[in-house]
Structure 1
Amino acid sequence: MNMKKYFVFLFLCILFLCGCKNKTVMIAFNSNGGSYIMPEIIESGKSIEITSPTKEGFNFDGWYYDDALTIPYNNETFKRNTTLYAKWTPKTYTIAFDYDIEPIEAEFLSEINLPTPTKEGFVFDGWYTSPYLDKPFTAQYMPLGGAYLYPKWTPKTFQVKFYHFGGLLDIQTINYNERITPPIVPSREGYIFTGWDHDLETIKSDAIISAMYIPKVFIVDFETNGGTSIDSIAVTYGESVSMPAPPQKPLKVFDGWYLDADFKELYQNTQVTNNITLYAKWKDAFTYVLKYDDTYEIYKYNGSDEIIEIPSEFQSKKVTSIGENAFINSTNLKKVIINNNIKTINSYAFYDCINLEEVYIGDNVIQIEEGALSSCSKLKKLTIPFVGKSKDATDSESHFAFIFGKKEFYNAYNVILPLNDPLCRSYFLPNTLEEVTITSGKKIKDYSFYNCKSIKKVILPDSIDTIESFAFYKCSGLEEIKFPKDLEVIEEYSFYDCINIKNIEINNNLKEIKSYAFKGCISLKNVYINKESKLNLLGEGVFLGCISLEEIFLPNSIEILPNNLFAYCSNLKNVNLPLGIKEISKYCFYNCISLRFFISSPLIEKLDDYSFGNCINLDCVYISISLMYLGENVFDGCMRLEAIHYEGTIDDWENITKESNQFLEDVNIIDSFLLK
Structure 2
Amino acid sequence: MKLGYNEIMITSMYFNNIKDFINLEIGIKRFQGNIERFHFNPIPLNQYSRKLFPNIETFHIYNEDDEIFKDGIIFKHVIWYPVSYSTYLKEKEQGNIYKNIKYTEEDRDKYGNTIPSEVKLLGYQCFKYCYGLTTINIPSSIIEIGYKCFKECYSLTSINIPSSISKLGYDCFYRCSSLTSINIDNIQFISKERIFMNEPVLVSIKIPKNLQIINRKNIEKKDINKFIIPSSITKLDDCCFYKCSSLTSIKIPSSINELGNCCFYECSSLTSINIPTSITKIGDECFYGCSSLISINIPSPINELRYRCFKECLSLTSINIPASITKIGDYCF
TM-score of the aligned structures, taking structure 2 as reference length: 0.42
Q: Specify which structure has the bigger relative contact order, considering alpha-carbon pairs within 8 angstroms and separated by 6 or more residues.
A: 2
Instruction: Compare CA radii of gyration and give the structure with the larger one.
Output: 1
Which structure dedicates a bigger proportion of its chain to helix? 2
- Which structure's residues are more often strand, by fraction? 1
Q: TM-score, normalised by structure 1?
A: 0.24
